[in-house]
Amino acid sequence: MPLVTTKELLSHADAEGYAVGAFNAINMESAQAIIQAAEEENSPVIIQVTQTTLAYTEPEELAALIFALVEKAEIPAAAHLDHGRTFETIVQFLRLGFTSVMMDGSLQADGKTPRTYEENVEVTKLAVRAAHSVGVTVEGELGRLGQIGSEISDAEAEHSLTDPDMAAKFVEETGVDTLAVSIGTTHGLYKGAPTIVHDRLRLIDDRVRIPLVMHGGTGVPDDAVKEAIQLGIRKVNIDTQIRVAFYAAIGDALRLAEKEHAQADAAGAVRKYDVRKLMKPARDAMRDAVRDRIRVFGSSGKASGITGF
């Protein structure tokens, strides 16, 4: 099936009150796992590549793989640039044919130094102008992700939460289609259960009439995610949960292989090496992790309701 835009997917999600999972792919097996999971759940899906992955693989290669998988898939999928840090990266992914891009304007190109609000607006407006000229969806970001009660104090975390009035102003000034908000989540594994500030999310959703995005989806308790979806979250980003599933499965497969090698050694037989015996269980584990999230986000079975599917 042809790629669709995130805007198309999230407007259906908005109408039906669910969220679409956005899952990070870094190689063939993770990309296959994401699409397999969505097909098995008959669910729309967003397959995304984050800017830091570009240090690992050429975007053209990963894009070609993703486009081939989506072309064959029987479910609607968008291809999204996650955490794009520069206007140049945005243009690169527009040229590749991605149907959705995130201009992560909250941080400078180094991914660490905060941008000012004005700098964020300026670079995001540029990204919106370029992307909208070719029909591509733009996600913006306001606020700095931070787990409440972890390294940063509650006061600092409170300060990092997205301000509803600033959010409304930002959406108005930039024209973004979706907005990543800071409501207590953070990337990676949490130290203890995160506190999702649903009251703040409700205020943001009241002020901002576009779909909202939750980053740092791994480890957010299911009921907290579901409550956030009722309050306007329409895209939930998941990366770490896929990595954890990969590590666990490939660790088991390696231990099994070592046992078989020991048996071969003991029997004076020749050891066998088959990488597929490591990668297939890892791919299956990643697929199951994605299916698990799709069910929680409520998008299972929703593919058929989206035009043309």
| Residues found near ligand G3H in the complex (CB under 6 A) | 24, 50, 82-83, 187-188, 215-218, 237-241
Are the C-beta atoms of residues 85 and 48 closer than 8 Å to each other? no
Whichever of 39 and 104 has its CB closer to Zn ion, that residue is 104
If contact means CB under 5 to 8 A according to the sort of partner, which of Zn ion, ligand G3H, none does residue 17 touch? none
Cα–Cα distance, 214 to 185 (Å, whole number): 8
Q: Are strands 233-238 and 178-181 parallel, antiparallel or unpaired?
A: unpaired
Closest-CB residue for Zn ion?
215
Distance of CA 295 to CAs 17, 42, 239, 292, Å?
14, 10, 16, 5
The residues annotated with a catalytic role in the active site are 82
For the chain, the C-alpha Rg in angstroms (whole number) is 20
Cβ within 8 Å of residue 57, ≥6 positions away: 26, 27
H and E: helices and strands count for the chain: 11, 8
Strand boundaries in 225-309, DSSP class E: 233-238
Least distance (Å) from ligand G3H to the CB of residue 225?
A: 11
8-state DSSP, 202: H
Output the smallest distance, CB 235 to Zn ion, in A.
Answer: 11
Q: Nearer Cβ to ligand G3H, position 29 or 239?
A: 239
The residue among 226 and 261 lying less far from ligand G3H, judged by its C-beta, is: 226
User: For Zn ion, which is the closer residue by CB, 53 or 237?
Assistant: 237
Look at residue 218 and give the partner it binds from Zn ion, ligand G3H, none, a contact being a CB closer than 5 to 8 Å depending on partner kind: ligand G3H
- Crossing angle of helices 164-174 and 198-207, in 10° steps, is 40
Per DSSP, 88 falls in state H
CB of 23 to ligand G3H, least distance (A): 9
Specify the residue for token string 């506190």. 195
Report the partner that residue 239 touches, choosing among Zn ion, ligand G3H, none (CB closer than 5 to 8 A by kind): ligand G3H
CA distance 213 to 70: 22
Residues in the chain: 309
**Side-chain-side CA neighbours of residue 140 (13 Å):** 31
Binding residues vs Zn ion (CB under 5 A) = 215, 237
Shortest distance in whole angstroms from residue 82 CB to Zn ion: 6
- Between CA 110 and CA 42 the distance in angstroms is 38
The nearer residue to ligand G3H, 162 or 240, going by C-beta atoms, is 240
Choose among Zn ion, ligand G3H, none what residue 217 binds, the Cβ cut-off being 5 to 8 Å by kind: ligand G3H
E-assigned strands of the chain? 20-24, 45-50, 77-84, 100-103, 137-142, 178-181, 212-214, 233-238
Choose from ligand G3H, Zn ion, none: what does 6 bind? Cβ within 5-8 Å by kind.
none
Least distance (Å) between residue 240 CB and ligand G3H: 3
Q: How far is the CB of 268 from Zn ion (least distance, A)?
A: 52
